[in-house]
Amino acid sequence: MDIGIDKIGVYVPKNYIDIVELARARNVDPNKFTIGIGQDKQAVPQPYEDAVTMAANSADSILTAEDKQALGLLIVGTESSIDESKSSAAFLMDLLDLPEDIRSFEIKQACYGATAGLQTAVDFVSQNPDKKALVIASDIARYGIKTPGEVTQGAGSVAMIVSQNPRVLKLTRKSVYMTRNVGDFWRPTFSKTAFARGKFSNEVYVDFFNTLWKKYQEKYSATIDDFSTLLFHIPYTKMGTKALRTLEGKIPDTKYAELTEHYQASIKFSREVGNLYTGSLYLGLLSYLTNAAQSNEELLLFSYGSGAVGELYSGEIQAGFDTIIDQNSILKMLDNRQKMSIADYEKMYQIEYQNGTIVDPQAVNSKFYLSEIKENERLYKKLK
């Protein structure tokens, strides 16, 4: 039975900051941020947005009534959870009007969460062929103002429906994975911002990619000629570039040039949005599908979550995928965003809603939003 991604949608906040303006405000050469880090814009969420509201928005962009009835599993991958106990998935049940005979939970392993969700969903569908699964990645990446990681922030959500006979990406079920206890990035429960050993994290990421690619070749007698495209976890676009560059000189030049060209298509959206944490690999997939992909292409996807878990797996783009993805709406959503000044971004960064906050819906620019914090409980609404 063929199983994989049947639909994929995205949500990004309506505001962004310009990375050149950020560089100037931090007295940094803009080339360091645009070339050295590889970013152009950074999505900035409003205080009424969080992992739940963004997840609702991305899922809502792809779910039909028929999909909802067929759902048997809902997994939200996030490392920006809003509750230590209740999962983001539970909040989505009434926001998305889902039937209650669904197994739902939240999953966390840094930026690997969505891939863990996706592979779990594939197993679920193989056991329940008539059912579908909804996997959502949703995160706000925060390192703090004036930190080295600030330029690698971002926010957004990617939602995927997994089913049999998928119309976007069939997963070949060929996969290798690994886990090591590594201190490259972490966020203690008391902290709103992440701590990272940035350069060390780069080294571990590249090492995981090389180790997994070796394992994949051995396990499946594969060669690079089996693939036309490599997609990477891209917290910032230079990071994937570093992993890709390790293949230069080890594979034919023409293949390296092809992979590099396709990688450029896969990072277009990330350059515009920034870090989605666990959604980053899937924003790259969507960018590739929207900007360059061809039917029947064989992809290799590298997922990495600090801490650290890595997985390298393959998929086949399905014929007609471009009729399933709402490319115009995605491009329009990116184009219609409003630029925010660095001063306004800094002010908004400090806002943290407290118990008793009531949000005025007139001031909201998102279909799903945090409406109130009452008795320390976050309550959500959908704009009428």
Residues noted as catalytic: 79, 111, 233
Contact criterion met (CB below 8 Å) for 169 and 321: yes
Per CB under 6 A, the segment of 59-67, 93-101, 194-202, 283-291 that binds ligand COA is 194-202
Judged by CB under 6 A, the residue of 20, 21, 36, 255 near ligand COA is 36
Per-residue contact flags (x/-) with ligand COA for residues 306 to 325, judged by CB under 6 A: x-------------------
Per CB under 6 A, the segment of 4-12, 196-204, 338-346, 361-369 that binds ligand COA is 196-204
Per CB under 6 A, the segment of 130-138, 145-153, 253-261, 376-384 that binds ligand COA is 145-153
Residue 338 makes contact with ligand COA by CB under 6 A: no
Shortest Å, Cβ 192 to ligand COA: 15
What per-residue string of b and e applies to 90-114 under the rule 16 or more CB within 10 Å gives b?
Answer: bbbeebbebeeebebebbbbbbbbb
CA dihedral 86, 359, 347, 28 (to 10 degrees): 60
Q: For residues 172 and 260, which CB has a smaller minimum distance to ligand COA in the complex?
A: 260
Shortest Å, Cβ 246 to ligand COA: 13
Query: Residue positions in the annotated binding site?
Result: 29, 143, 242, 275
Q: For residues 161 and 231, which CB has a smaller minimum distance to ligand COA in the complex?
A: 231
Q: Distance between CA atoms of 91 and 9, rounded to whole angstroms?
A: 19
Shortest Å, Cβ 278 to ligand COA: 10
Per-residue contact flags (x/-) with ligand COA for residues 249 to 288, judged by CB under 6 A: ----------------------------------------
Q: For residues 5 and 37, which CB has a smaller minimum distance to ligand COA in the complex?
A: 37
Query: Residue positions in the annotated binding site for (3S)-3-hydroxy-3-methylglutaryl-CoA?
Result: 29, 143, 242, 275
Q: Which of residues 171-190 bind ligand COA (CB under 6 A)?
A: 185
Q: Distance between CA atoms of 199 and 197, rounded to whole angstroms?
A: 6
- Give the other-Cβ count within 10 Å of 60's Cβ: 18
What per-residue string of b and e applies to 199-232 under the rule 16 or more CB within 10 Å gives b?
Answer: eebbebbbbbbeebbeebeeeeebebeebbbbbb
Q: For residues 25 and 93, which CB has a smaller minimum distance to ligand COA in the complex?
A: 25
Q: For residues 199 and 384, which CB has a smaller minimum distance to ligand COA in the complex?
A: 199
- The token duo for 323 is 């009729």
Shortest Å, Cβ 383 to ligand COA: 33
Please enumerate in sequence order all residues whose Cβ is within 8 A of that of 309, keeping only pairs 6 or more positions apart, or say none. 109, 110, 112, 116, 177, 178, 179
Angle between helices 280-291 and 253-266 (to 10 degrees): 100
Per CB under 6 A, the segment of 53-61, 146-154, 164-172, 374-382 that binds ligand COA is 146-154
Residue 196 makes contact with ligand COA by CB under 6 A: yes
Shortest Å, Cβ 54 to ligand COA: 19
Residue 32 makes contact with ligand COA by CB under 6 A: yes
Residue 87 makes contact with ligand COA by CB under 6 A: no
Residue 198 makes contact with ligand COA by CB under 6 A: yes
Q: Count residues contacting ligand COA (CB under 6 A)?
A: 21
Q: For residues 111 and 122, which CB has a smaller minimum distance to ligand COA in the complex?
A: 111
Residue 199 makes contact with ligand COA by CB under 6 A: yes
Residue 152 makes contact with ligand COA by CB under 6 A: yes
Q: Distance between CA atoms of 87 and 37, rounded to whole angstroms?
A: 33
Residue 144 makes contact with ligand COA by CB under 6 A: no
Let me know if 376 is exposed, middle or buried by CB neighbors in 10 A (0-12, 13-18, 19+).
Answer: exposed
Residues near ligand COA (CB under 6 A)? 29, 31-32, 35-37, 111, 148-149, 151-152, 185, 196, 198-199, 201, 205, 235, 238, 304, 306
